[in-house]
Amino acid sequence: MYSIVYALMAGWKELLIDVMKLTDETRGLNKDIDKLQSHVVEGDKRVVRLETLVEVSTYQVMQTKLTEDTK
């Protein structure tokens, strides 16, 4: 009887250790994801600024062509 209880307790101990390791790994991965998310947001902001520059410059070129055509 004692050996069965001991074996069950040892199994629970290993299970608890595995859960604790997985919890630590998950926390580390969450930190990595947060860092990556901030990089993605910064990249997205840059893309939006570039898109805006392209749209404004395209509009200015079109206005310049229209002005030249009316002269």
Q: Is the dihedral of CA 51, 57, 61, 66 positive or negative?
A: positive
Share of the chain above pLDDT 70, in %: 89
* Cα distances (Å, whole numbers) of residue 11 to 5, 16, 27, 51, 52: 10, 9, 24, 58, 60
Write down the pLDDT at residue 9.
Answer: 76
CA 1 to the chain's CA centroid: 52
Residue 71 pLDDT greater than 70, yes or no: no
- Give the mean model confidence (pLDDT) for residues 41-62: 95
Residue 11 has pLDDT above 70, yes or no: yes
What's the predicted TM-score (pTM) here? Answer: 0.55
Of the pLDDT bands very low, low, confident and very high (cuts 50, 70, 90), residue 12 is confident
